[in-house]
Structure 1
Amino acid sequence: MKHREPVSNIMTRTVFTVNLNDDLHQVIDLINHHKIRHVPVIDANEIVGMISKTDVNRLTFSSLFEGQEDADEAVLQILTIDQVMTHKPRTIPVGMTIREVAEVFAEEEFHALPVVDDENKLVGIVTTTDLIQYLLDQY
């Protein structure tokens, strides 16, 4: 197994984001269209939150009960991204090693972490799936 590899070797570089003032429909469209589970929330070029597929699923009823699409729509119209997202997400530097990222995932129970450069600009995202795929490639 390779040692001291930076997270940049396994992160996803094309990150789909939403703005804080977007609506929840845009989050759902991104998640469904691109088959992703985590979306960073940006405000004035700064990462201010993360919203996940799980966060959105907690808001909807149609997957549990038939005929609840109107209730889902009402919930999506009432709530904002700011009310649903995780605020002040943990970010990691692009130079962090894969091992260090694995330790963060294990200790802090995150499933995705935004990766930032020295100027705190979003340059990628790393998920537990990325880490597992890396480990599988080692064997």
Structure 2
Amino acid sequence: MTKVGTWMTKNPVTIEKDATVIEAVHLMKEKSIRRLPVMDKETIVGILTEKMVADFRPSKATSLDTWEVHYILSKTSVTEAMNPKPYKVKPDTDLTEAAQLLHDRKLNGVLVVDDNDRLVGILTVTNALEALIEICKDPDACKK
């Protein structure tokens, strides 16, 4: 009950490395997600988050209009905006260890990989909070 594999989001939505930033934005909005593992077929090459996309966009003070910004993002590969070294854990990692990583590194999520470094899920802060809520419904589980 306290392993990452129990609480992670299985089979997360991904995007291929040759996709554009605008495609990633549309996919995130369509699926109501805030992070996308970036893949080269079955291999993880990075992660793109909503915040990375926001930081990558030109500032509102730019003289570019909306169409020009859209055009730039439609020509920019996700590999230019992503983090190429995302944090990873295994499904059998203790939930407390993964939560500590999220806390210490100020992360909103970590990729979950199998022994062959294949993506099997994502553990988000929301997943960790869902676990905390469920575990603490048992009064004896949260007593110190």
Do both share a fold (TM > 0.5)? yes
Aligned length: 135
Task: Compute the displacement of 1:25 (Å).
Answer: 2.4
Counterpart amino acid of 1:106?
H
Kindly indicate whether residue 35 of structure 2 is the aligned counterpart of residue 41 of structure 1: no
Tell me how large the CA RMSD over aligned residues is. Answer: 2.1
CA distance in 2, matches of 1:81, 1:9: 30
Q: Where do 4+ consecutive residues of structure 1 move more than 4 Å?
A: 61-65
Per the alignment, residue 55 of structure 1 pairs with 52
Per the alignment, residue 108 of structure 2 pairs with 111
Instruction: Decide which structure has the larger Cα Rg and report it.
Output: 2
Counterpart amino acid of 2:115?
D
Unpaired runs of at least 5, structure 2:
138-144
Task: Compute the displacement of 1:23 (Å).
Answer: 1.5
Kindly indicate whether residue 26 of structure 2 is the aligned counterpart of residue 32 of structure 1: no
TM-score, structure 1 as length reference: 0.86
Among all aligned residue pairs of Structure 1 and Structure 2, give the percentage whose two residues are the same amino acid: 24
TM-score, structure 2 as length reference: 0.83
Task: Compute the displacement of 1:16 (Å).
Answer: 0.4
Unpaired runs of at least 5, structure 1:
none
